[in-house]
Amino acid sequence: MSWSKLKQQLESFLCPALEGRVEYRATGYRYLPDKAGLCYIAVDKKNVLNMRDATTLIKWYQTELEIKNDPAIEIPISSEEIEAIRKEGKGAIPEERLKIIVRGRKISEHAKEIFLAQSSLSKSNFTVAANKFLSIPIEESIESSDILLNILALMDRRVGKKRILNMSEKVKLKHPSVQYFYELRRSTL
């Protein structure tokens, strides 16, 4: 599918409040057919998500340690997880350390997931992800670990107010770019 048709289809799925504010853009290199060009998402005429640029407005993690040390990341801890660590330690672990252990393990898992998703995003071809988005159900895009699919789903008019509001806890565990677009969509409700 040509870029103009793909862009037209993607923008036809934008929620009404974001029409004219969110744009999908691409640059191509006419004389370099082996170069894919750049694709990015612009909000209010500013390039917000450029997949290959360090000057993007969204925090882009360079190492797994940066993710682990980011105070903005909130990790929800359930009583079942604390109880599992208590059983694993056979009751010998002090109560205040249980939460620290659970948070440490969960943030390590979370950091690996974010870093993996981020590295696949920087290598991906926007048009491939966009075509996939247009061919799969919206629920799959929302639940996917692919950052682009999450972002495209958040901007979609098929995702209603109730679903957006119910996603707040899940979005806290996503990449900052997904969180940015979630907050943008939420501000339009």
Domain extent listing, the chain: 64-115
Its pTM stands at: 0.69
CA 174, 180, 181 angle in degrees (round to 5)? 95
Give pLDDT, residue 125: 66
**pLDDT over threshold 70, residue 37:** no
Mean pLDDT (whole number) for 158-167: 92
- Contact status, residue 101 vs residue 93, Cβ threshold 8 Å: yes
27 vs 78, residue with greater confidence = 78
| pLDDT level of residue 60 (50, 70, 90 thresholds) | low
pLDDT digits (tens, 9 = 90+) for 110-139: 777 777 766 656 545 677 888 899 999 999
Neighbours of 147 (CB within 10 A): 24
**pLDDT over threshold 60, residue 35:** no
CA 22, 24, 27 angle in degrees (round to 5)? 140
For residue 50, the cross-strand partners are 40
